[in-house]
Amino acid sequence: MTRFLVRRALWFLLTVWLVVSVSFVLMRAVRGGPFSGERALAPAIEARLAERYHLDWPLWKQYLQYVGPFDWSEHGTGFLGGDGTRPFGGLLALDLGPSFRYRDFTVNDILAQSLPISATLGALALLVALALGVPAGIFSAVKRGSTLDLLVRLAATIGIALPNFVVAGLLLVFFVFQLGLLPPAGWGGLRHLVLPAFVLGLPYAAYVARLVRSGMLEVLSSDFVRTARAKGLPERIVLVRHALRAAILPLVTYLGPATAGILTGSLVVEKIFAIPGTGSHFVNSALNRDYTLAMGVTLVYTVLVYTLNLAVDLAHALLDPRLAPEEGA
Amino acid sequence: MSSTWRERLRHGLLLMLALPFVLALVALGRRARLERADVAFANGGEVTSLDPQVVTGQAEGRVMNALYEGLTVKHPETLAPLPGMAESWEFAEDGLTWTFRLRDARWSNGDTLDSADFLWSWRRLLEPETAAAGAYHLFCVQGARAYAEGAHDPARREALWSAVGLAAPDARTLVVTLARPTPWFLALTSYHALFPLHRASLEHFQQRFPARWESEWMQPGHLVTNGPFKLRERRVNDRLRLVKNPEYWDAANVALRTLDVLALEHVHTALNLYLAGEVDWIDRVPPALVEELLARPDFRPAPYLASYFYRVNVTRPPCDDVRVRRALALAIDRHALTTKVLKKGERPSWSLTPEGLAGYARPELAHARDAAPEAAFAADCAEARALLAAAGYGPERPFPPLELHYNTSETHRDVAEVLADGWRRTLGIEVVLANQEWKAYLDAQVHLRYDVSRSSWIGDYADPQNFLEVFLSDGDNNRTGFGNAEYDRRVAEAAAARDPVRRLALLSEAEALLLAELPILPIYSYVSQNLVNPRLGGFFANVQDEHPPKFWHWKERPR
Amino acid sequence: MSADARLTGWLAAARAVRGAGPWRAALRRLVADRAALAAALFLLCVATGSLAAPFLPLASPQVMQLGEPRPPRLVPLGDHGWAHRVTLEFELEEALRSREMLARTEQTLVALARRACGAQARVFRRGQREETHGLALVLPYRRDLDPARGSELAARLAQHLAAETVDGKLHLRGGGDVAVRLVGASATDGYGTTSRFDAWLLARRQACFGFWQLGPLLGTDAKGRDLLARLVFGSRISLAVALAGAFVSLFVGVVYGAVSGYAGGKLDERMMRFVDVLYSIPFLFVVIFVITLLDAWQAELAGLGIGRMTAFFLVLGLVTWLTMARVVRGEVRALRQREFVEAARVLGASHARILAVHILPHLLGLVAVYLTLTLPSVMLYEAFLSFLGLGVRAPDVSWGLLAADALEAISPLSITWWLVLGPALFLGSTLLALNVLGDGLRDALDPRLGPAGGAR
């Protein structure tokens, strides 16, 4: 087990390093720099800005500056030529650098502000997905073949069939303007997150329902469920404690890609509902060529997704004693 | 797997599961909920900085106008200069020396504000280390340009500075000597690049945090400003919460206690917030909903000092032939575009400069005139076809496909599609629409890798000079490959001319030259698209679309 | 019956038994599942309609008529306004009342057209029944009729007309003169550049339907472009993107997963590690990034013959291959243990042969299921990217773009409902059908897939 975790940790570091390096090179290869605008800057000024953000350094030096752990700038480590005010910097010192576009913020600042908000949104969306999907799946499995089952399956599939921004638009008009129950956009508490979380979680609720349904159907005809029923246990207990536990494995497997999907789906939702989460920085930083912010956001997401996959594998091992976490799984 | 591991795993996983909820509590607990500000308005994307000297852009300008104040303030309706930090001013006969008498004003932390602050701030603006995008605005001052370009050399720095025409004979007087008569200088003093900065706090943070002073200095609580509002809270991509500055000299007349500047990018979201009453002013509306909005009393588009035109790359065929450019310019159905696609009252334009420049004889591209726009357009198209034929394009030599670049936006796409369709129908030219993202689009313009590219220019001040100087041969913003010695000569002469009438006449001649050469295809003059709560007083439509929040107040509810 | 006869009978009966192979059984199960069958037929219709789009009597998807978006109109069903034509407008000096004169004028004009450009023209009347004061000579737009543009064709016709007119009077066949005046010549290309196949379909349509076209059954957008036409032509790009992307992901995923699962041991471990690493990378960011890159390098790529669309397909395909690889690898690993593989090894078959002949066929079912589940996600990705402005761009049209436009049409002030209904209907029903078909396939192939078969 220790070996397993250590190996995973090593691969994690390798992944992160790969992501950093590749995006570092790619970002600088794309046309258009962070400082171009409709009003051209005087070449002298653009040169000064490039100097300040070390864009005039050779690529390897910029890379080392970004990765750290030593700061190569004029205020950096003494033995590298700086004045020693700030010896450490870069990724290895957990410093993601200054934002090229938002001059008043470092990437750490921006992430510190936006990540909790995105996490809230994501967690709520996942909750919605589970809260809607699991009961629907159970229901549909138990009442298999009935009209209700068909309706639930239809609703589930429709949830997947429309792009979430169209659903968002329709729900906005209905809940916000017709009924006046919810605020249309912005961030200020749970009320503001109801609609975004719902829109974000809906397609995943649909998948969860199908998964639970098929898992339950498998299990409901198996021996141990029949035993449990024969023992005279109430149906509810049979369903939840026995059948569901067995059917939960594929659900847990799905949670990995589902959460990753929620993370990416949040781009659109955050844009439409004006939620200042990390997703809103995702696309803009690439479009604005804000190198550091773009890489910072990518890194955060990479770490998140990797950790999630690890958690899913571990949960697998926990839930199904037959599966020890394989080295090669 | 051993049982201890199972225990650890279980705990670990539960912790991981709990983490987002903990973060969620953190996010929600951080007093996420703010009470509604007195006024909230949508300001486009998040502002790039709170340093007035380094920013460009309308959104940043609005925030600067709330936080800081310059020598003068623009009147909200007439845009006339009103006393700001300067109580009064006078200028010498030759128009070159301006003397400003500063009032007894304070910074938001109580420090007195005097002429030394202005001197120091304007010096910082010019200094190369600041890398201030707005530095060129001060180049009208004697010796300023030389200082900006030469100050990196420590040997000459002080000498160059002493040659700059700025002096502060006493704490309440500022004397500015201009290099040449600049009629818009007074308007410039209310532009954010010339706002004063608080020297002490800036230098304090530069000393304490040499590596990251910018992020420290701009924090709420650290930032010291002199305007009607000060910074209370800043949430990236969400809002700037401003509160009334009690140290402001005119605080008694500032009606708002709190002001929210919201960063809203998606124009539909902004509209939704406005319609729900959460936002009191939005400055852009979804083009698809213009019809419905025009029926409302709170939407009143007004002329705006900005031009929408297409740049033409004159360095490569087929557009290197002026006849082709003229044909393209004539075959644009401006009337249909403005009435059927844009619908907000935009005015068709045949010039580079927009409407509304007082005293300026605005030359126009020679085109047919007729009471019925359709007939005029038909005549123009006939001329365009004849021009193309004269340029040698016909059945034997078909016109090559044109690449039309525009950046991602509904309006630009609409205009591009309609224009491309028009050119296809009337001239038989095939147009390839290239929707590019912002940076790639700019890059293509700068490196002249396009045929026709959508463009616009907003006037910083109400003078044709700042439109025409874009197309000087060495202009940084030229990006068309156009260069005409006669044009340059006229613009330079106009800059040096003392007589305002002669100056405007020269500029008019220059523009006429430009319109004969056509490195641009003029299309229309902008209108402002403000959707404002009618109860908001002190908000007027004006030709520069500037609305200083200092004058805003809520009108009494009519009984 | 003698023992011999019985034996023969039994042998004959034994031989006559045709076992239903696993495929046949699966097919039977699939056909029995009505929903899946309906979905499959529906998808077939969609695919055919999409392929044959230029043949269908639809309005042009790109000709504009500026104004307001027009709501759907069912009556009249269609009109003769198909905008893929060359038109010459004539004005008659005096209104023609005699039917005979009218007929002869039309004949002359048609003959003139045939002489000028070898095309069969039609003449439409302008004006009331009894009094025709204008005529429109309309020819189908054909790129081969003139190498440059349709306006040249109009010019040629005009030239011929001028040659035949004396003093502003056209000499008619069978005698008589009519004073005609050419007031307008225009050529509208309703479809832009089209491939040879599309051009052939257009010609067939012209022959079949003439200038008749369906009216705005689903309404028009603000630029007057028919929504139904845009949806049908948009399906070409959407389906192409989805299929190409899915096939890229299939190809890469299946090959990778099969090799990895079959090889086993260290190679398998390393390959799966690589997949895990890639899995952690937030692919959407990479996609956005790569698309930005592609835009920046458009000129260079075009030089290499890779259009923007092609690059787009590849990118989308590369996003989805990971799941396929994982699933295929798991399946191949399980299959590798089976007896028939061992038997083949013993018989001396090479690895490649085993993979191709023995293992791959078993994967087909799995792959089919995952294909039908990947297609919707690729389509949604495309819609997503179009919303962000990075996907399909004007003048091309796709369902994603129309869905993004649909969002613009929804607002508290007004909901242009038909702009939402059209794309939602098409996109939703296609994705629904794909999902239902995928479910049906999975159920039909049920014995093959274990509980791990549940995923996106």
Most A-contacting residue of B17, B64, B238, B261 (CB-CB within 10 A), to test interface:
B238
Query: Which residue among C63, C151, C393 sits closest to B428, beta carbon to beta carbon?
Result: C151
Residue B485 sits in which domain range?
303-527
- DSSP codes of every residue in B536-550: EET----TT----GG
Task: Tell me the DSSP string of A28-44.
Answer: HHSSS-TT--SSPPPHH
Q: Between chains, do C407 and B414 touch, taking CB under 8 Å as contact?
A: no
Pairs of residues, one from chain B and one from chain C, whose beta carbons lie less than 8 Å apart = 82
| pLDDT 10s digits, A190-244 | 788 889 999 999 888 888 887 888 777 777 777 777 787 788 777 777 777 766 7
Helix (H, G, I), strand (E, B) or coil at B61: helix
Angstroms from B415 CA to nearest CA on chain A:
19
- Domain with residue B330: its CATH number is 3.10.105.10
Is C61 within 8 Å of C230 (Cβ atoms)?
yes
Looking at the fold, whether B83 and B42 belong to one and the same domain comes out as: no
The strand pair at B402-407 and B452-458 is best described as parallel
**Residue B350 forms part of a structural domain:** yes
Of C321, C329, C422, the residue nearest C371 (C-alpha)? C321
pLDDT at residue number B116: 93
* Interchain proximity B237–A33, CB inside 8 Å: no
Which positions of chain C have pLDDT values less than 70? Answer: 1, 19-22, 95-96, 128-130, 142-155, 168, 183-187, 192-194, 282, 284-285, 292, 295-307, 394, 446-456
Q: Is B544 inside any structural domain?
A: no
Do B253 and B347 share a domain, yes or no? no
The residue among C213, C195, C218 whose CA lies nearest residue C56 is: C213
Task: For B86, list phi and psi in degrees, rounded to 5.
Answer: -95, 130
CA–CA separation, B490 and B528 (whole Å):
31
d(Cα B327, Cα B62) in Å, to the nearest integer? Answer: 40
Closest chain C residue to B395, measured at CA: C148
- Chain A hits for C411, CB-CB cut-off 8 Å, are 173
Of C186, C223, C407, nearest to B417 by CB-CB distance is C223
Chain C residues near residue B295 by CB distance under 8 angstroms? none
User: Which one of C401, C411, C418, C420 would you mutate to disrupt binding with B, by most B Cβ within 10 Å of its Cβ?
Assistant: C411
Here the CATH number for the domain that contains residue B147 is 3.90.76.10
pLDDT at C455: 34
Does B56 share its domain with B115? no
Instruction: Select the residue of C222, C295, C395 nearest B436 (Cβ to Cβ).
Output: C295
Secondary structure in 3-state letters for B143-162 = CHHHHHHHCCCHHHHHHHHH
Under an 8 A CB cutoff, do A116 and B23 touch?
yes
Chain B residues whose beta carbon lies within 8 Å of the beta carbon of residue C394: 413, 416-417, 433, 435
Other beta carbons within 10 angstroms of residue B244's beta carbon come to 18
Q: What is the ipTM of this complex?
A: 0.85
Torsion of CA C335, C340, C341, C343, to 10 degrees: 160
- Which of B280, B298, B316 represents a domain boundary (last residue)? B298
User: Which residues does chain C have within 8 Å of residue B293's beta carbon, measured at their own beta carbons?
Assistant: 413
CATH number at residue B238: 3.40.190.10
pLDDT for residue C147: 36
Contact check, Cβ <8 Å, B293/C413: yes
Q: What is the DSSP string of C433-446?
A: HHHHHHHHHHHHTG
Q: In this complex, which chains have at least 3 CB pairs below 8 Å with chain C?
A: A, B
* pLDDT confidence of residue B281: 95
3-state helix, strand, coil split of chain C in percent (to 5) is: 65, 10, 25
B149, B175, B194 - which closes a domain: B194
Q: Is residue B90 part of a domain?
A: yes
Question: Structurally, how many domains does chain B consist of?
Answer: 3
- B418 in a domain, yes or no? yes
- Which residue carries 């502002």 as its tokens? B47
Nearest to B423 by CA among B286, B312, B306: B312
- A328 has pLDDT over 50: no
**Residue B451 and residue B359 share a domain:** yes
Determine contact: B316 vs chain C, CB below 8 A.
Answer: no
How far is the C-alpha of B298 from the C-alpha of C268, rounded, in Å? 67
**Best residue in A16, A30, A251, A255 for a mutation probing chain C (most C CBs within 10 Å):** A30
* The residue type at B529: Q
Residue B200 within any structural domain of the chain? no
Residue A8 sits at the chain B interface (C-beta within 8 Å): no
Which of C63, C188, C221, C413 to mutate to probe the B interface, most B CBs <10 Å? C413
Is residue B341, in this structure, part of any structural domain at all?
yes
Cβ of residue B414 closer than 8 Å to a chain C Cβ: yes
Residue B365's contacts (CB-CB under 8 Å, 6 or more residues apart) are B326, B329, B330, B350, B351, B515, B518, B522
Cα separation of B190 and B71, whole Å?
6
Tell me: pLDDT of A134 over 90.
Answer: no
Q: Does A214 touch chain C (CB under 8 A)?
A: yes
CB contact B418 to C (< 8 Å): yes
Q: Assess whether B261 and B316 both reside in one domain.
A: no
Instruction: Give the DSSP letter of residue B98.
Output: E
User: What architecture (CATH level 2) is domain A119-323?
Assistant: Orthogonal Bundle (1.10)
**Does residue B519 share a domain with residue B394?**
yes
Task: Share the mean pLDDT of chain A.
Answer: 81
Interhelix angle for C360-387 vs C308-336, to 10°?
Answer: 150
Q: Round to whole Å and give the CA distance between C83 and A80.
A: 71
Secondary structure letter of residue A91 according to DSSP: G
CA distance linking residue C61 with residue C228, whole number of Å: 8
Using a 10 angstrom Cβ sphere, with 0-12 exposed, 13-18 middle and 19 or more buried, the burial of residue C361 is: exposed
Q: Confirm whether B173 is domain-assigned.
A: yes
Give the separation between CA A147 and CA B102, rounded to whole angstroms: 81
How far apart CA B126 and CA B133 sit, in angstroms, is 10
| Identity of the residue in A45, A188, A314 whose CB atom sits nearest the CB atom of B9 | A314
Q: Which of B215, B235, B442 is facing A36, going by the closest CB pair? A: B442
Please list every residue in chain B whose beta carbon sits closer than 8 Å to the beta carbon of residue A36.
439, 442-443, 446
Asked if residue B361 and residue B324 are part of one domain, the reply reads yes
Residue B548 is assigned to a structural domain of this protein = no
Specify whether B25 is located in the same domain as B93.
Answer: no
CB pair distance less than 8 Å for B133 and A176: no
Contacts of C188 in chain B (CB under 8 A): 425
Q: CA nearest B433: which of C193, C310, C395, C61?
A: C395
Q: Contact at 8 Å (CB) between C431 and A192? A: no
Tokens describing residue C212: 């008749």
Distance of CA B243 to CAs B37, B45, B68, B229, B234, Å? 9, 21, 13, 5, 12
The residues spanned by each domain of chain A are 40-99, 119-323
B507 and B523 co-located in one domain = yes
Residues from chain C contacting residue B440 (CB–CB below 8 Å): 292, 295-296
- Among candidate residues B293, B355, B274, B368, the one with its CA nearest the CA of residue B329: B368
Q: Does B443 touch chain C (CB under 8 A)?
A: yes
The chain A residue lying nearest B13, using CA atoms, is A311
Residue A261 at interface with chain B, using a CB cutoff of 8 Å: no
In the prediction, which pLDDT does A190 show?
Answer: 78
| A102–B2 CB contact, under 8 Å | no
CA separation for the pair B137, B121 (Å, rounded)? 14
Q: On the CB side of B332, how many CA atoms lie within 13 Å of its CA? A: 23
The verdict on a CB contact (< 8 Å) between B428 and C152 is yes
Are residues B247 and B314 both part of a single domain?
A: no
Which residues of chain A does C429 touch, with a Cβ-Cβ cutoff of 8 Å? 161
Q: Are residues B370 and B422 in the same domain?
A: yes
Do residue B259 and residue B329 come from a single domain? no
Decide if B289 and C222 are in contact by the 8 Å CB cutoff.
no
Q: Tell me how close the Cα of B381 comes to any Cα of chain C, in angstroms.
A: 13
pLDDT of residue B515: 94
In a structure prediction context, what are the per-residue pLDDT tens digits for chain B, which is 559 residues long?
A: 567 777 877 787 777 777 777 777 777 776 667 788 899 999 988 898 999 998 888 889 999 999 999 999 999 998 899 999 999 999 888 778 999 999 999 999 999 998 999 999 999 999 988 888 888 889 999 999 999 988 888 899 999 999 999 999 999 999 999 988 888 899 899 999 999 999 999 999 999 988 788 888 998 989 999 999 999 999 888 899 999 999 999 999 999 999 999 998 888 899 999 998 899 999 999 888 888 899 999 998 998 999 999 999 999 988 999 999 999 999 999 999 999 888 888 999 999 999 888 889 899 999 988 888 888 898 898 899 889 889 988 767 778 889 899 988 888 988 998 898 888 878 878 888 887 778 878 888 988 989 999 999 998 888 898 899 999 998 888 899 999 999 999 999 998 888 889 999 999 999 999 999 999 999 999 999 999 999 999 999 988 899 999 999 999 765 4
The DSSP output letter for B332 is: -
Contacts of A286 in chain C (CB under 8 A): 285, 288-289, 292
Instruction: Quote the minimal CA–CA distance from A77 to chain C in Å.
Output: 32
Rounded to the nearest angstrom, the gap between the alpha carbon of residue A267 and the centroid of all alpha carbons in its chain is 10
Which residues partner with B98 through β-bridges? B91, B176
